[in-house]
Chains A and B, each alone.
Chain A
């Protein structure tokens, strides 16, 4: 017990938690934005892969780190656009279309990676983002230590939480996005485009997911591996429900999840001799299911989620 407490009050533990949660923050925000407009995006898992691969490849080809992030965002937006076209104007099953996008984005990324690097045994490395030191913040005790270990992408993730919150709740655009996810007729009756709002939200949300994927290859690691996303996308879908579609709660959910993941890694080194390591590996997924069980019934679903809308049908 003492050991766990010691872990929980250490700066390095929380620094790791925040690092682990960064791609999830991007992913949860992206999924939240899609779902707020009424579209479930199960393409997230594949979009993570596409973002991770394309961002890394761009940097490897000499685009620079910021260029890599932009490429990852564009890749996400591209796959998001496919999903949006299939589900919004065509009104096809959001479940199946999302899985299709995941399969498409994943296989295309793998194919491009293999074609670009046909015969490498160990994946080539890039120079990833480094932790940045912001003078005033690093002087704050505890928090300064935690933030001092983060890269620009984590800062960007935290900034995005604020931006998504601000846009959704404080701007006319965000009000319209919320309305289209609740009752599309409410924006249609005002002459606004239901399709435009939904497609825009899905594309923007998917771009966020793509950037989240890029964190894996450009900040957490410095190379691309097959299977490196490993279900993180699905975890994000569960976390959105846990967060009841609120950006602040989404941040909390992602960080809690990251903390749990960091804790299991540390526990594994502590008691790994007595318990098979896989028990700890399973924990994050089991935790996601628990989060879903707790939150699902009382979650405040966008009323028009999963429901396609066609012009002139009332």
Chain B
């Protein structure tokens, strides 16, 4: 007979090691699909590692890939801490990106010193709006935010296509559905010459540290945690639950919006409908791997970005589908979920005693 018992306390080290073990396990499990695809497994892992750490350029690519994941990972982490299920980061990312091109492509032709903060602020606001709407539907109509944010992702993506074929379309774009380029002074500076890694990464790192402090040390963070862990007790204790959740929604949406802004004004310079290969959804995995800790988000985003970049170069070199990366990411989420269970509970195996009848 198997019994599940609540582990009274698990050591910090143990909790800390679970995401790492999960990440490693998911990488090991990747051998199965690799074998299925008929690749030489040892070579595949070698190519992947080389593809991420083999050169400064490779590392720069990995950091570039990690940047939006830090933002969407933070967006999910903050929301999930308060048990607000924001699954809409993908849509909010595009809202932020649209805001960036709406302002940054020539409407405001001013000095970059002023233009950059305006673009960023407007992008955050639009992202926040993308989460405030489902929040309002939740408080006003009781509509589950999971479903509404998921559906909004599709609505926003279609809206984006409409904008890219309409008001935001580049008149010089030869008919492609893409926006005009961002003004030069509206672009974030890159960090290394001839590399793509840009200062959006710095913004992400700073925000992660700030959030870490705010969640653990501030009254705002205290309320957020209380609401997340037990909404009834929080309400009973006089914490303004709806106000707290609204704050979380704004913060989460703004972070997701910032991911879009950073991709547009840090990397691409213009907006297309394939700006994000699912950064919003991957952000959820990042947050879960991070144990919903903002600092942890940085490490988790670096790991996931490595998987993507490594799998890409492996795919180019060996012809294995790059969907392998998505597969590893999904498996790492499932592994970390199981790991979280192991850290909270322990299984004890008791043998059923033989009963002898007199």
The reply, when asked whether chain A contacts chain B directly with Cβ atoms under 8 A, is: yes
A234 contacts the other chain (CB 8 A): yes
A114 touches B323 (CB 8 A): yes
A293 CA to B155 CA in the complex, in Å?
A: 16
B341 interface residue (CB < 8 Å to A):
yes
Q: Are B323 and A103 in contact (CB under 8 A)?
A: no
When chains A and B are docked, how far (Å) is the Cα of A99 from the Cα of B150? Answer: 11
In the complex, which residues of chain A have a beta carbon less than 8 angstroms from the beta carbon of B141? Answer: 292-294, 296-297
Main secondary structure of the interface of A (DSSP, over half): helix
**Interface segment out of the listed A7-15, A19-27, A104-112, A169-177:** A104-112
Report the Cα distance A281→B330, complex, angstroms. Answer: 29
**A111 with B327: CB separation less than 8 A:** yes
- Shortest CB–CB separation between residue A234 and chain B, in angstroms? 4
Whether A90 and B338, one on each chain, are in contact in the complex, defined by CB atoms closer than 8 angstroms, is: yes
Indicate if B166 sits at the interface (CB-CB under 8 A): yes
Contact B151 A235 (CB under 8 A): yes
Q: How large is the interface on A (under 10, 10 to 19, 20 to 34, 35 or more residues)?
A: 35 or more
- Are A234 and B142 CB-contacts (below 8 A) given A114-B323, A278-B162, A282-B159? no
The answer, among B36, B146, B159, B330, for a CB contact under 8 Å with A42, is B146
The answer to whether the Cβ of B87 comes within 8 Å of any Cβ in the partner chain is yes
Give the one of B4, B151, B284, B320 with max A CB within 10 A: B151
Give Cα A95–Cα B341 distance, bound, in whole angstroms: 15
Which residues of B, 184-238, contact A by the 8 Å Cβ criterion? none
Cβ–Cβ < 8 Å partners of B319 in chain A: 118
Task: List, in ascending order, chain B residues with CB within 8 A of A115's CB.
Answer: 33, 36-37, 320-321
A96 to B327, CA, bound (A): 16
> Which of A107, A278, A282, A310 interacts with B323 by CB under 8 Å?
A107
Judge whether A97 is part of the interface by a CB distance below 8 angstroms: yes
Q: Measured between alpha carbons, how far is A95 from B165 in the docked complex, in Å?
A: 35
Q: Which residues of B contact A90 (CB under 8 A)?
A: 338, 341
Interface membership of B110, Cβ < 8 A: no
Cα A279 to Cα B147 in complex, Å, equals 20
Distance in angstroms from B335 CB to nearest chain A CB is 10
- Tell me, in angstroms, the Cα distance from A294 to B37 when the chains sit together: 48
Q: How far is the CB of A299 from chain B (nearest CB, A)?
A: 8
Q: Is B285 an interface residue (CB 8 A)?
A: yes
Say whether A160 faces chain B, with CB atoms less than 8 Å apart.
no
Q: Which listed segment binds B: A125-133, A180-188, A249-257, A283-291?
A: A283-291
Interface centre among B323, B326, B338, B341 (most CB of A within 10 A): B323
A-B contact pairs, 18 of them (CB 8 A): A97-B334, A103-B285, A104-B331, A107-B323, A107-B326, A110-B323, A111-B327, A114-B321, A231-B153, A238-B147, A276-B165, A276-B166, A285-B151, A285-B152, A292-B147, A293-B143, A296-B141, A296-B142
Given contacts A99-B87, A231-B151, 19 further A-B contacts (CB under 8 A): A42-B146, A86-B338, A90-B338, A96-B288, A99-B284, A99-B333, A100-B337, A108-B330, A114-B321, A115-B33, A238-B147, A278-B162, A278-B165, A282-B154, A282-B158, A285-B158, A289-B152, A292-B144, A293-B143
